[in-house]
Every structure is written in structure tokens, then in C-alpha cells.
Amino acid sequence: MLKLAENIYRKLDIPEKARADALHIALPTVHGIEYLVSWNCKHIVNAFLKRKLHAIIEGYGYLTPEICTPPEFLENSNDT
């Protein structure tokens, strides 16, 4: 998990102060958690980073969790 987090941190080129965000993404990924819900739209719930993030995670053989904000999650939770 730490290797994945480090790779996410480096390849997304996020600032040092946001390094924990990479761990926040790696943790649910390696544990097979389906959703990652966050208010962090700068480094986590960011449409421009999702494509890169998906490629990094796929390279490790994991599925990327669905990353969304709480309102997006709640809006769609009624559909299941």
C-alpha cells in the first residue's frame, strides 16, 4: 500500500503538504473498497487527475474506487 501511495504522490505531482492524500487514495484501493468519498476536490475528487490515477492504480493490478463528493454519493445511493 505504501508503494502505491508513493507512486500516486509522485506521478500526480501533488505538493508535499498533500502527501497524505495519496495514502487516502491508496488505502481503500488495496482493500477493495468500492467508494472513496471526499470533500478534497483539489487532489482527490478531481476530474483531471482521475485518468492519471486510474492508470497508476491499474498498473498495480487494482480497481480504482469510485471517487466522489458526499452529495454525489448520496444522490446516487438511492439508485442502488
Q: DSSP string of the chain?
A: -HHHHHHHHHHHT--GGGHHHHHHHHHHHHTT-SEEE-S-TTTTS-HHHHHHHHHHHHHTT-PPPEEE-HHHHHHHHTT-
The predicted structure's pLDDT at residue 76? 73
* pLDDT computed for residue 80 by the predictor: 57
Confidence tier at 79 by pLDDT (50, 70, 90): low
For the segment 4-45, what is each residue's pLDDT rounded down to a tens digit? 999 999 999 899 999 999 999 999 999 999 999 999 999 899
Task: Report the predicted TM-score, pTM, of the whole model to 2 decimal places.
Answer: 0.86
Reading the block at residue 34, the C-alpha cell is 468500492
Domain limits, the chain:
2-77
